Amino acid sequence: MQPTHSFLRAALRLQTESTPIWIMRQAGRYLPEYRKVRARAGDFLSLCKNPDLATEVTLQPLRRFDLDAAILFSDILVIPEAMGMNLRFLEGEGPLLEPALRSTLDLDLLHPIDPESHLDYVMKAVTSIRRELDGRVPLIGFSGSPWTLATYMVEGGSSKNFTFIKRMMYSDPKSMHRLLNLLSDCVADYLNAQIQNGVQAVQIFDTWGGVLSPRDFLEFSLRPMQNILERLKTIGPDGQQIPVILFAKGCAAHLETMAATACQVLGLDWMTDLGQARDRVGSRVALQGNMDPAILHAPPERIQQEVRDLLASFGPAPGHIFNLGHGITPDVSPEKVAILVESVHNESQRLRQERS
Amino acid sequence: MQPTHSFLRAALRLQTESTPIWIMRQAGRYLPEYRKVRARAGDFLSLCKNPDLATEVTLQPLRRFDLDAAILFSDILVIPEAMGMNLRFLEGEGPLLEPALRSTLDLDLLHPIDPESHLDYVMKAVTSIRRELDGRVPLIGFSGSPWTLATYMVEGGSSKNFTFIKRMMYSDPKSMHRLLNLLSDCVADYLNAQIQNGVQAVQIFDTWGGVLSPRDFLEFSLRPMQNILERLKTIGPDGQQIPVILFAKGCAAHLETMAATACQVLGLDWMTDLGQARDRVGSRVALQGNMDPAILHAPPERIQQEVRDLLASFGPAPGHIFNLGHGITPDVSPEKVAILVESVHNESQRLRQERS
C-alpha cells in the first residue's frame, strides 16, 4: 500500500506533485505564538512534559505554513533523564545532565527504560498530535543517536572539545561501548514505542558524529545506529512503511556508508553539495536538505534563488525532501519561512511541468 | 638549492630520514613555563606584542621536545587591530573586536596596513626568533585567512551561528567582497613582510571556511586565499623556496580544489582520512596532519598505536608532515607530547628501514 502524503512518498523515492518540505525546529522560538506557550509552561522541560502544550506547539507552524510534515515537539535529552540522570535547562546556557558519567562505576547508576511508563508524556503527546492532525500531514518522531546522547551524558552537557567522552573512548573503550550499547537498546525501544503510538516516520539526529575521525565515527557512532536500524519496526500499526531518516551533521565523508544501512533517507547539512550527494548515493536512499539556515536572513529574491538552485541541483529523480541543513535559528522572521515554503512548492511544481 | 631541514623537505615532497612533526599551538598553555611567561606579560595581547617574550615562548616547546619546526607566537587578530579595530581578550571568554563591522559604512573605518610599522612587533619577534634558533629548525609564519578574519570582525568576536557575517554575505555581497579584498591585501603584505624578515614557511589558517556551503566556500573563502597565494613571495631572502600550508578546517570536501592552488601543503583536520586524502590529491601537494588532539589524553600505547596507524595510512611516498588535526588543548600533559614526538620519529624511521 503506497502512501499518499508527499513527504512519505518522497522518503520512499516515489513521484510527488511538488517537493515536500519540513523544517528542523519548525516548532520553535522564531514563532511568537511558541514563545507565548513556552512562557505559560514555565520552562522548556515542563513544555516537553505537558502533552497538551507539546501538541499545541507541534501544530503551530502548520497553521502558518503549508508544511508537509509535523515533527513531535520534544528534546533528545529526555532519554538520559528517563535512564536516571538529572536534567536541567538553564536559560541561555544549554542543558545540564548530572552527575556526568566519567567512569564505569557511574554507568551503574543508569537503568534501561520502559518508554510507555518512563516517557509516557511523549507517547501521550504522539497520540494527541495524531488526533489533532487528523491525517492532514504525517507526524515525524525522533531520537538522538547513541553517540550524541552519550556526549551530553559524559560531558554533563554541551561541550566544545569533547574532552571527557574522548578520554573515555580512547582510554576505556570497554565502558564507552557499554554505554553505547545501553543507549542503543533505549533508543530502539523508544522509537518503536513512538511508532506504536502513531509516528509515521522517524529521524535519528547524530549531531556530534562529526567530531570523530572516520574510523571512530564508524565504530562509535554509525555501528550503534545500525544496531538500532536493525531493530526498528518497519511497518506502523496502520500497515504503512515507516521511513527512517539519518541526519549526521558534518559526516558527508560517510554518505556512501550511511546509504548502505537500512535507512530510507539521509539528512544533509548545508556544507554538502546536494547534487554531488545525489550522485554519490544514487538511488539507494532519498535525501533531505539542505539550505543554509542563514539564507533566511536574506531578501526574498535571494531565498527564492537558493530554492531554485537546490531543486535544480538535486535534479528530476524522485526522493528529495526539502529542509534546512540544520535547525532554524530563533532570530528568523516567520515571513521568510512563508516565502521559503511557498517557493519550494511553486518552483518544484514549475520544474516538473517544464520537464513533462 | 634543496633544503636540508626535514620539515622543509617534506613540505616540498622530498625524501626525509624520518617524518617531521610540529604541533599547532605547540607554544601554549599546556606548558607550565608558558603559563609563567604569560603571567609575567600580564595579558595575552601584551605577550604577543613583546618580541622578547614572544621569542621566549616560541622557543619553549623546542627545549622540551625534538620538534622539526618552530611557529611564530602571535595571534591571527593582530591584523584587524592593525587595521583600526579595538581588540581585547577577556579571560576565559575569547576575543572581542570593536566596533563590529555591520555595514559598508563601518568598513570605511578600516585602513590598509604597513606591516613593518603597524605590526613591527611581529617583525621584531621573527628576527629575534631566527637569531635564537640559529638554524636548528625552520620558523613558520602564519596568518588567518580573509574569510576567517572577517568572521571575527563582523561578528565582533567568536560566533556560534555566524549570523551577522552571513547576513552580510547573503544580503550585501558587495560589502562582503569589499572587506575580503581589503583583507586579502593586508594578509598578502603581512605574510610577505614575515618572509622578508625571515620566516621559512607560512601557514594560512582558514578556521571557519567549514561553516560555508560548497559554493560559498569557493567564492568567499578560497578565492581570497588564491589571491593571496598569487601575491606571496615564493623565495626567501636566503634563496630558499617558501612553502605555503593551507589549513582549512572542516573543508575536506574541497581537497582537490585546494590542491590545485599554488600552495605546497594542505593541512588536514582529524575528520579526514589521511590515506584517502593522499589518494585524492596524488602528488600535487604534501599533507600535514592529522591526529585527533584528544588522543593525547590516552595511555602511551594508544598514542603510539595511533602514530603507527597514521604513518601506515599515509604510505611510503614522501610529503607527510605529522601534526595534530587542530591545536593542542591546554589540558594535555607535556609528557604525552614527548611520547608523541618520539614515536613519530622512531616509527617513521623504522618504517623506512623495513621498506628499504
B-side interface with A, Cβ within 8 Å? 161-163, 166-167, 169-171, 210-217, 250, 252-253, 270-273, 276, 292-295, 297-299, 302, 325, 329, 331
Count of alpha carbons within 13 angstroms of residue B294, beta-carbon side:
19
Catalytic residue among A13, A152, A190, A269: A152
Contact between chains at A171 and B211 (C-beta distance less than 8 A):
no
Q: Which of A68, A75, A189, A206 is catalytic?
A: A75
Q: Considering chain B, what percentage of its residues have pLDDT values greater than 90? A: 97
Among partner residues B295, B298, B329, which is closest to A161 by beta-carbon distance? B329
pLDDT, tens digit, 9 for 90 and up, residues B66-82 = 999 999 999 999 999 99
CB A340 within 8 A of CB A301: no
pLDDT of residue B355: 87
Annotation marks residue A29 as catalytic:
yes
Please check the confidence at residue A45 and state whether its pLDDT lies above 80: yes
* Residue A292 phi, psi (nearest 5): -60, 120
Q: What is the pLDDT of residue B91?
A: 79
Express each pLDDT in A193-247 by its tens digit. 999 999 999 999 999 999 999 999 999 999 999 999 999 999 999 999 999 999 9
Nearest by CB to residue A294, choosing from B170, B250, B325, is B170
Average pLDDT over residues B87-104: 92
Average pLDDT of the residues in A92-112:
93
| Identity at A189, one-letter amino acid code | D
Give the other-Cβ count within 10 Å of B305's Cβ: 15
Instruction: Compute the C-alpha angle A160/B161/A280, nearest 5°.
Output: 85
> Is B4:B68 a contact under the CB 8 Å cutoff?
no
Catalytic: A40?
Answer: no
Count the neighbouring beta carbons within 10 Å of the beta carbon of residue A354: 8
Give the pLDDT confidence of B214-273 residue by residue, as tens digits. 999 999 999 999 999 999 999 999 999 999 999 999 999 999 999 999 999 999 999 999
Residues of B in contact with A170 (CB under 8 A): 294-295, 297-298, 302
pLDDT at B353: 94
Residue A196 contacts residue A114 (beta carbons within 8 Å)? no
How distant is the Cα of B130 from the closest Cα of chain A, in angstroms?
Answer: 33
For residue A91, the model assigns a pLDDT of 79
Q: Residue A93 has what pLDDT?
A: 81
What is residue B292's predicted lDDT score, i.e. its pLDDT? 97
- The ipTM, to two decimals, is 0.93
- Report chain A residues whose CB lies below 8 A from the CB of B166: 292, 294-295, 297
- Whether the CB-CB separation of B140 and B203 falls below 8 Å is answered with yes
Residue B336: the pLDDT is: 98
Task: Identify whether the C-beta of residue A278 lies closer than 8 Å to the C-beta of residue A270.
Answer: no
pLDDT at A280: 97
Question: Is B163–A329 a contact, with Cβ atoms under 8 angstroms apart?
Answer: yes
The yes-or-no verdict on residue A355 having pLDDT over 90 is: no
The pLDDT tens digits of the residues spanning A284-329 come to 999 999 999 999 999 999 999 999 999 999 999 999 999 999 999 9
Is A231 an annotated catalytic residue?
Answer: no
pLDDT at A245 (0 to 100)? 98
Per-residue pLDDT, averaged over A256-266, amounts to 97
In this prediction, residue B333 carries a pLDDT of: 97
Query: What is the rounded CA–CA span in Å between residue B5 and residue B66?
Result: 13
Please give the grid coordinates belonging to residue A244: 527512517
Answer whether residue B356 shows pLDDT above 90. Answer: no
Torsion of CA A277, A281, A282, A285, to 10 degrees: -110
**How far is A291 from B202, CA to CA, in rounded Å?**
35
> Which residue among A161, A271, A292 places its CB closest to the CB of B253?
A271
